[in-house]
């Protein structure tokens, strides 16, 4: 490229990170073309925050709420465009934002306003937007990159892959970007649904479908371990029988705990609280063996407080049924399910609980540690983002340029980075798009400048 000639940047993908990358590259002097297979830009962006678009989260350390890549790697990218800078960016485009409990939204409350100001800025910067162009191949000839579609071959000095993941393929995230990355020699880590509902084992879910429940839900990793025997067990003993049968004890390791409201469904559980836990379940080959969920259905009461309440009420109610005992504490549809888990029925009397302290303890445990066995998650069709993606060890965190191919950059969900609900995934999109766009517009990579 001769001195003074504009650097040509091709952005593959017109989602949040792709639009940010294109605008940033153009503002840094590049001639930019955006190519996307969909018929409009920002199609997935329109769905974020239930159409309200939770733009970011006012978190001083947003990388702490992201997973996949090494935390320091994510931090290096995030610091290049922090949440306050995202708000300033949109204010400059004519879209003020407001904050509510740390969540940041456009003042219009409409995701369409976000895409409108972004595409308006693209027109102002004379960025070419090529829609309904399915990308078939990514090639490099010397220092020139070629992006081939069914109808054209686009040439540039740099390419930014901002194709998204496999989440919500109807919006354009069909996973094709991973194949383009592989064409360039990149490793793609296994991709799984994240921020989605969890499927659970059990025959009672139809009876509680539609019930919303405030709870604290803990997710554990379950591992089997051989029982440790200090001395050889005597022949015929219970410990010898356990060893002979091959039974192993279970060890639980807490992976994550979330509090809030979740929804009981016909297949399991859903809601934001559940979404935050889903990535740790979808990656398991046998989640029903490797994971267990425990729901505290009355998180505002300690075990001791609940025990005292139940003891006093049981004495007062006497011959009344146990279902009456839990009325006012749990949704009526949940009561028979909890009682069954504790080894009782709603027809049993409260007096039975007074007579048998063990049953009272079991009832408290059923309420405070209600077990749920996950057997998987909902599919890519309905998940919000994906875990996994392009291996970040092969990408420079300062520029998001490939360490394998000069002039090739990545941004957004295509990388092995995913975040919690609450604006963290869009914050990653903006920050990574900004980082890749600015670097791609430079006349040479940092690697060339060393």
Mean pLDDT computed over 5-20: 96
Mean pLDDT computed over 22-40: 97
Tokens of 300: 């505002």
Q: What pLDDT does 51 receive?
A: 85
Cβ count near 125 (within 10 Å): 15
Tokens of 393: 């060890």
Mean pLDDT computed over 416-437: 97
Mean pLDDT computed over 388-409: 98
Mean pLDDT computed over 389-408: 98
User: By C-alpha distance, which of 447, 388, 439, 428 is closest to 82?
Assistant: 428
Q: Which of 237-251, 267-281, 432-446 has the lowest mean pLDDT?
A: 237-251
Every domain of the chain with CATH number 3.50.50.60 lies at 8-193+385-449
- Rg, Å, the chain Cα set: 27
Mean pLDDT computed over 178-189: 97
Predicted confidence band of residue 407 (pLDDT cuts 50, 70, 90): very high
Quick check: 443 pLDDT over 80? no
Q: How far apart are CA 160 and CA 434, in angstroms?
A: 11
Q: What pLDDT does 228 receive?
A: 59
Quick check: 366 pLDDT over 80? yes
Q: What pLDDT does 234 receive?
A: 52
Cβ–Cβ under 8 Å, residues 334 and 213 = yes
pLDDT digits over 318-365, tens only?
999 999 999 999 999 999 999 999 999 888 999 988 999 899 999 999
Q: How far apart are CA 197 and CA 424, in angstroms?
A: 19
Quick check: 258 pLDDT over 60? yes
Evaluated on CA atoms 311, 314, 315, 316, the torsion sign reads: positive
Strand ordering across the sheet containing 198-200:
370-372, 291-296, 212-225, 249-264, 268-270, 198-200, 374-377
38: left (phi over 0), alpha (psi -120 to 50) or beta: beta
Predicted confidence band of residue 249 (pLDDT cuts 50, 70, 90): low
pLDDT digits over 146-172, tens only?
999 999 999 999 999 999 999 999 988
Tell me the whole-structure pTM to 2 decimals: 0.90
User: By C-alpha distance, which of 3, 17, 13 is closest to 419?
Assistant: 17
What's the topology of domain 8-193+385-449?
FAD/NAD(P)-binding domain (3.50.50)
Predicted confidence band of residue 233 (pLDDT cuts 50, 70, 90): low
Based on the number of CB atoms within 10 Å of its own CB, is 238 exposed (0-12), middle (13-18) or buried (19 or more)? exposed
Cβ–Cβ under 8 Å, residues 46 and 408 = no
Tokens of 384: 């919000």
Predicted confidence band of residue 420 (pLDDT cuts 50, 70, 90): very high
User: By C-alpha distance, which of 118, 108, 150 is closest to 45?
Assistant: 118
Q: What pLDDT does 321 receive?
A: 93
Predicted confidence band of residue 304 (pLDDT cuts 50, 70, 90): very high
Q: How far apart are CA 352 and CA 359, in angstroms?
A: 8
Mean pLDDT computed over 174-193: 96
Cβ–Cβ under 8 Å, residues 215 and 246 = no
């Amino acid at each position: 490229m001769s001195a003074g000639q504009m650097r040509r940047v091709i952005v593959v993908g017109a989602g949040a990170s792709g639009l940010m990358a294109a605008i940033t590259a153009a503002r840094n002097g590049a001639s930019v073309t955006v190519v996307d297979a969909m018929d409009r830009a920002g199609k997935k962006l329109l769905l974020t925050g239930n159409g309200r678009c939770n733009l970011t989260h006012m978190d001083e350390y947003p990388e702490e709420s992201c997973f996949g890549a090494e935390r320091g790697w994510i931090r290096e990218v995030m610091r290049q465009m922090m949440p306050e800078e995202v708000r300033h960016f949109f204010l400059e485009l004519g879209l003020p934002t407001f904050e509510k409990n740390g969540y940041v939204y456009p003042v219009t409350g409409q995701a369409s306003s976000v895409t409108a100001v972004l595409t308006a800025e693209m027109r102002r910067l004379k960025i070419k937007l090529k829609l309904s162009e399915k990308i078939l191949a990514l090639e490099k000839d010397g220092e020139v990159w070629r992006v081939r579609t069914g109808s054209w071959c686009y040439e540039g000095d740099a390419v930014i892959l901002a194709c998204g993941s496999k989440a919500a393929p109807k919006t354009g995230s069909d996973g094709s970007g991973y194949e383009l990355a592989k064409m360039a020699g990149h490793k793609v880590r296994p991709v799984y649904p994240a921020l989605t509902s969890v499927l659970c084992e059990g025959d009672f879910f139809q009876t509680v479908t539609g019930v919303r429940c405030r709870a604290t839900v803990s997710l554990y990793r379950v591992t089997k371990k051989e029982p440790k025997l200090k001395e050889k067990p005597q022949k015929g003993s219970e410990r010898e029988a356990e060893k002979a049968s091959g039974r192993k004890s279970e060890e639980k390791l807490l992976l994550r705990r979330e509090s809030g409201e979740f929804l009981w469904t016909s297949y399991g559980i859903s809601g934001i609280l559940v979404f935050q836990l889903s990535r740790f379940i979808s990656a398991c080959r046998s989640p029903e063996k490797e994971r267990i969920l425990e729901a505290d259905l009355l998180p505002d009461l300690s075990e001791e407080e609940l025990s005292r309440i139940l003891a006093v009420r049981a004495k007062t109610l006497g011959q009344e049924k146990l279902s009456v005992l839990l009325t006012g504490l749990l949704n009526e549809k949940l009561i028979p399910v909890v009682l069954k888990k504790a080894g009782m029925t709603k027809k049993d009397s409260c007096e039975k609980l007074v007579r048998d302290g063990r049953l009272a303890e079991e009832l408290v445990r059923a309420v405070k540690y209600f077990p749920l066995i996950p057997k998987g998650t909902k599919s890519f069709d309905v998940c919000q983002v994906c875990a996994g993606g392009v291996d970040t060890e092969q990408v420079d965190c300062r520029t998001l340029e490939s360490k394998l191919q000069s002039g090739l950059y990545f941004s957004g969900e295509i990388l092995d980075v995913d975040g919690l609900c609450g604006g963290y995934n869009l914050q990653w999109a903006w920050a990574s798009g900004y980082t890749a766009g600015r670097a791609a517009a430079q006349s040479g990579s940092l690697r060339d400048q060393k």
